[in-house]
Amino acid sequence: MSNWLSRILVAAVGLPVVLGAVYLGGWWLWSLAAVAGLIALHEYWLLARPLAPLAPAGYIGALLALVGAEIGGIAWGAGGVLMTFPLAFVLKAISEARAAATIAISGTVMGAAWIGGGLGFLILLRELPAHGRLAALTVLLAVWAGDTFAYLAGRLFGRHKMAPSTSPGKTWEGFVVGTAATVFVSFVALYHQDLLTIGESIVLGVVLAIAAPLGDLFESLLKRDMDLKDTGRLLGGHGGMLDRIDALLFAGPAAYFTILAFTG
């Protein structure tokens, strides 16, 4: 099966599932985030194997972050992530692995905070008291649009490498087109709505257009550090789960705090 065909098939199946879970919210979205988070964490443990991460502590910390975000908001979500520290310390204390404690514990906490915490902010977006559904759907659609158009523009006429040593496939031409697409979707989705003004919706689009590629580049930096191209092949041409959600892990927190700043 060609790369393009697998991308289309995965998108055709996955988009309705994700959008449906976001529309329903609550434990439906939590369940989807938990499944995606556990798969992404598994891929991260494989990626970070040289660091000897303490996987059980990371899984528990990420799940606690998601549970905390769902039932108690940002404070409980942060508490869930922080639980990874003592859990990782205990596991390291009884582990026979020779990796340095600083490296093993740091790698474990980073995985839980990056993946569990990042997905937790999507839950927090959906749980916003006013127009949470609209906010979460806008962020997802805007990030997906930016990623898709950046990819197409980069393939068609991209010439100037954005980060040649980290992600050779990314170009400044793709970034410009992706930014335009992200801002446009954010503007259209929030036009004549009560969540943000027109100017604020454009600012949100710009924030997403910057945060999402940074999330992608962050994962690319980790993969290059470990000499890997993809974190998996679970999603066909899209790569692994972590390859698919990396942009959202940065865009979710950025969007949440931007909307919070505008709405008070």
> Backbone phi, then psi, for 232, in 5-degree steps?
170, 180
Asked if the model's pLDDT at residue 238 lies above 70, the reply is: no
> How many helices and strands in the chain, by DSSP H and E?
11, 2
> Backbone phi, then psi, for 151, in 5-degree steps?
-65, -45
Dump pLDDT digits (tens) for 136-158. 999 999 999 999 999 889 888 87
Spans of all domains in the chain: 1-127, 132-264
101 is written with which tokens? 């404690």
Question: What is the average per-residue pLDDT within 60-83?
Answer: 96
d(CA 150, CA 154): 6
* pLDDT value for 70: 96
Q: Comparing 5 with 181, which gets the higher pLDDT? A: 181
Question: What is the average per-residue pLDDT within 175-181?
Answer: 96
Flag whether the pTM goes above 0.85. Answer: yes
d(CA 147, CA 93): 42
Beta-ladder partners of 167: 163
